[in-house]
Amino acid sequence: MRRAFFCAGAAFALACGSASAACRDDLIKADQNFAQPRSELQSAASAAPPVKCAAYRRHVASLTQVRNVFARCDTGGEKAKNAAQTSAALAEFTKQMRASCRK
């Protein structure tokens, strides 16, 4: 799980460096919106299932937002790689969320 956090963060840093001026604000906002749910998810690792499930949902929503901003704004040579890393992290956390949130 930590590797997926790192990959998503690294992909964001790369995209930020190659973003056009029009997208820079969206990338910064996506990064800020990503940091809080990521921290909450780490804190909820040993929490009760309802707390952990809510943290997963917020994190998946933030990753979805990051993926959408990347798709629109990343103009660097690593765009495909960044998109793949973000999509892989999103898929992994979605899978973990589904496993953790079964009723």
What is the tens place of the pLDDT at every residue in 13-65? 544 555 577 688 888 888 888 888 888 888 888 888 888 888 888 888 888 88
| Mean pLDDT of all residues in 75-92 | 85
What is the total count of domains within the chain? 1
Domain range enclosing 49: 2-100
Tracing tokens 């992994």 back to the chain, one arrives at 92
What's the pLDDT tens digit per position in 60-79?
A: 888 888 888 888 888 788 88
100 burial (CB, 10 Å; 0-12 / 13-18 / 19+) is middle
- Inter-CA distances, 15 with 1, 32, 69, 93, Å: 21, 14, 10, 21
pLDDT value of residue 2? 45
37/94 Cα distance (integer angstroms): 14
